């Protein structure tokens, strides 16, 4: 995995312009590994990795048994990927990793509450999509073959935690948040390894993962640019909750030329 340490925000815009079609994920701490909320949770609360599969299955089973009480269309729970996306949307730990097709949305999530150096990871989704990158151990497991949107594929290729593969994409039906964030999901076939280690076992002549470190000196200029691009919590999280969360930026950024009573 190649790593670039930025000098300034302009370098980020130049670099990401060369990564056409890639997917991006922002993380508030550059030391964090690229792994799912489920992996982080299980590592903290379930030392015995032999229990991880059973715990994940139980969490999904409990959610399915109870979530129908709050859904207008409970049938969404029948599809594995849609069910996990719904869990992720509402804060449950899942094996899904949130990515976005916009490097600027990823930068916002990396910088919004960062207190030190942050990072944006770029994933070469075109190479994965066109099978220019395949797992060395299971080269037949292409993106189309393991597609988790197909009924039964989650059990066969993912929940079993035997295949060191990844899939990326969206559910057939996308919710408003996924649309607003230009979002996509990365689904790992195993939950006991970070994404970078899984990709290390892929055969490809191309770079598959690039880590961009945003030093603590970058956020001021970056957040102003993102604000001007209308990338805020209000736009990324449709509804009153997103608007309320976006007010924090208004407290942080000092706009030149502002006068009392003038709205930026």
User: pLDDT tens digits for 180-196?
Assistant: 889 999 999 999 999 99
Note whether 149 and 262 are same-domain residues.
no
Note whether 178 and 86 are same-domain residues.
yes
Q: Is 63 helix (H, G, I), strand (E, B) or coil?
A: helix
pLDDT of residue 10: 93
State both tokens at 140: 């037949």
CB 189 within 8 A of CB 148: no
* List of residues 6+ apart from 207 with CB closer than 8 A: 2, 124
Residue 160 lies in a domain: yes
pLDDT of residue 258: 47
Residue 82 lies in a domain: yes
pLDDT of residue 11: 95
Global pTM value: 0.89
Residue 225 lies in a domain: no
The DSSP bridge partners found for residue 211 are 3, 121
Note whether 128 and 161 are same-domain residues.
yes
Q: Which residues of 123-162 are buried (b: 16+ CB within 10 A; e: fewer)?
A: bbbebbeeeebbbeebeebbbeebebeeeebbeebbbebe
Note whether 244 and 132 are same-domain residues.
no
pLDDT of residue 252: 65
What is the total count of domains within the chain? 2
pLDDT of residue 256: 46
Note whether 59 and 147 are same-domain residues.
yes
Low-confidence ranges of the chain (pLDDT < 50): 256-259
pLDDT of residue 177: 85
Note whether 184 and 260 are same-domain residues.
no
Q: What are phi and psi of 98, to 5 degrees?
A: -75, 125
pLDDT of residue 210: 97
Find the Cα–Cα–Cα–Cα dihedral 43, 49, 53, 59, rounded to 10°.
-40
Distance, CA of 49 to CA of 191 (rounded, Å)? 10
Note whether 173 and 69 are same-domain residues.
yes
Host domain of residue 125: 2-219
Residue 227 lies in a domain: no
Q: What is the pLDDT of residues 60-112, one digit of tens each?
A: 999 999 988 888 888 888 899 999 999 999 899 999 999 999 999 999 999 98
Tokens 């048994």 found at: 65
pLDDT of residue 253: 61
pLDDT of residue 139: 92
Nearest to 145 by CA among 160, 134, 137: 134
Nearest to 53 by CA among 141, 158, 195, 185: 158
As a 3-state breakdown, the chain gives helix, strand, coil percent values, each rounded to 5, of: 40, 15, 45
Residue 251 lies in a domain: yes
Burial class (CB in 10 A: 0-12, 13-18, 19+), 238: middle
């Amino acid at each position: 995995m190649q790593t670039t340490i930025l000098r300034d925000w302009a370098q980020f815009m130049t670099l990401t312009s060369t990564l056409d079609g890639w997917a991006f994920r922002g993380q508030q701490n550059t030391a964090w590994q690229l792994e799912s909320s489920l992996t982080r949770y299980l590592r903290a609360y379930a030392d015995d990795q032999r229990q991880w599969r059973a715990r994940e299955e139980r969490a999904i089973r409990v959610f399915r048994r109870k979530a129908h009480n709050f859904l207008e269309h409970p049938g969404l729970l029948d599809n594995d990927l849609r069910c996990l996306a719904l869990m992720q949307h509402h804060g449950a730990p899942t094996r899904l990793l949130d990515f976005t097709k916009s490097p600027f949305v990823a930068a916002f999530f990396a910088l919004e509450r960062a207190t030190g150096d942050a990072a944006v990871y770029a994933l070469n989704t075109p190479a994965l999509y066109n099978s220019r990158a395949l797992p060395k151990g299971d080269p037949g497991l292409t993106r189309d073959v393991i597609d988790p949107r197909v009924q039964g594929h989650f059990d066969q290729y993912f929940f079993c935690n035997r295949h060191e593969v990844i899939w990326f994409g969206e559910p057939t039906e996308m919710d408003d948040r996924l649309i607003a964030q230009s979002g996509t999901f990365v689904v790992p076939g195993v939950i006991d390894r970070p994404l970078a280690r899984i990709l290390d076992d892929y055969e490809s002549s191309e770079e598959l993962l690039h880590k961009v470190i945003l030093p603590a000196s970058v956020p001021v200029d970056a957040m102003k640019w993102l604000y001007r691009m209308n990338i805020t919590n209000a736009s990324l999280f449709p509804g009153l909750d997103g608007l309320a969360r976006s007010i924090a930026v208004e407290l942080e950024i000092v706009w030149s030329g502002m006068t009392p009573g003038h709205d930026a």
